[in-house]
Amino acid sequence: MAAHGRHFVVGNARGERVVCVTRGKKAGPACGDRVQYTATGVSQGVIDALLPRTNLFYRSDAFRAKLLAANLTQLCTVVAAEPSYSDDLLGRSLVAAEATGIKPLIVLNKVDLAEAAALARSRLALYGTLGYEVVEVSLKTDPKGALTRLWPHFENQSTVLVGQSGMGKSSLLNCLVPDAQAATREISLALHTGKHTTTDARLYPLSAAQGQVIDTPGFQEFGLAHLSPGTVERAFPELAPFLGHCRFNNCTHLIEPGCAVLEALRLGQIDQRRYTLFAHLTRESRTQSHAPTGPH
């Protein structure tokens, strides 16, 4: 449910929180992982095994790929009418979802701010044309309506929440998990840390249904340098019709003559903002080495 240094909070079948350590120097589990543990004391244990994962979700910083969560089915990005959200960060989280093989969901919050919401809506229209779902809510002024609209998207899903701070991610979490604050305190208590503990991610089971949400800290950057160039290419659904139609079969779609992607861009069939992000991520990716066993 949470990781803090070498300590891991495990929720067991009886609903208890057990603080576990791992044996040896193996890479630790991530939020959302399923593990087997042996109890070593009251609310304490040792992790014996990590069960197979369906997927892993990473974000890179300047130095390395950081494992944030595992076993996800959905990535929800929270944006708001105000303050203005970053297109670059939203685009990157959609790429992260595609690269992880999970469903991207965009939540537009603060639609009560009518003028700003209209602007945000027109900026988001692009993503609608790409097939990404946008759910509009006003978590503060209409929490009941928000819950009604959000619930079908979250029940039975394992969702990781991402967003810049100030967009309403905490409001969203509290809407879906009314006892989230108590759950956060329980995790901090189990870890014997103060209330200001910064864990990388925390898992909250949905109280009224199957499903869970994993909250991640608000971010200002969303590094994706760990993705291989091929993964970046496949993470842009609008490129798919043009791939395989370039003059060179190892085309990077950055500068080559006879590139079908660059031609589609010129004809306005691919959005300039999306291509800029694609080119940026491809260059970022090409300056990294990608070990075959590492994140891809």
- Contact positions vs ligand GDP (CB under 6 A): 109-110, 112-113, 138-141, 163, 165-171, 218
The distance of closest approach from Cβ of residue 139 to Zn ion in the complex, given in angstroms and rounded to an integer, is 42
93 binds, among Zn ion, ligand GDP, none (CB under 5 to 8 A by kind): none
CB 47 within 8 A of CB 64: no
Which one of Zn ion, ligand GDP, none interacts with residue 246, CB within 5 to 8 A by kind? Zn ion
> For the purposes of burial, counting CB atoms within 10 Å of the CB of 247, is it exposed (0-12), middle (13-18) or buried (19 or more)?
exposed
Binding partner of residue 261 among ligand GDP, Zn ion, none, CB cut-off 5 to 8 Å per kind? Zn ion
Stretch that binds Zn ion, among 8-16, 70-78, 194-202, 242-250 (CB under 5 A): 242-250
- Residue 171 contacts which entry, Zn ion, ligand GDP, none (Cβ below 5-8 A, type-dependent): ligand GDP
| Lookup: tokens for 245 | 């139609």
Q: Closest Cα partner for 187 from 15, 19, 14, 6?
A: 19
Does 253 contact Zn ion by CB under 5 A? Answer: yes
Specify the residue, 183 or 246, whose C-beta has the smaller distance to ligand GDP: 183
SS3 (DSSP) at 193: coil
Tokens of 110: 């603060």
**Lookup: tokens for 220:** 């200002």
Residue 251 contact partner, candidates ligand GDP, Zn ion, none, CB within 5 to 8 A by sort of partner: Zn ion
* Per-residue tokens: 250: 């190892």
Per CB under 5 A, 275 contacts Zn ion = no
The residue (of 166 and 205) whose beta carbon lies closer to ligand GDP is: 166
Distances (CA, A) of 192 to 17, 70, 196, 217: 12, 24, 11, 20
Nearer to ligand GDP, 109 or 159 (CB): 109
Q: How far is the CB of 51 from ligand GDP (least distance, A)?
A: 31
How far apart are alpha carbons 174 and 168 in whole angstroms?
10
- The position carrying tokens 């043009």 is 242
The nearer residue to ligand GDP, 139 or 259, going by C-beta atoms, is 139
Look-up: residue for tokens 């002024």?
141
Q: Which of 232, 251, 277, 279 binds Zn ion (CB under 5 A)?
A: 251
> In angstroms, what is the minimal distance from the CB of 174 to ligand GDP?
8
Of 76 and 167, which CB lies nearer to ligand GDP in the complex structure? 167
Nearest to 97 by CA among 61, 154, 59: 59
DSSP assignment of 96-155 equals HHHHHT-EEEEEEE-TTSHHHHHHHHHHHHHHHHTT-EEEE--TTT-HHHHHHHHHHHHT
**Cβ distance to ligand GDP smaller for residue 50 or 218:** 218
Contact with Zn ion (CB under 5 A) among 68, 172, 176, 261: 261
Closer to ligand GDP at the Cβ: 138 or 231? 138
Task: Enumerate binding residues for Zn ion (CB under 5 A).
Answer: 246, 251, 253, 259, 261
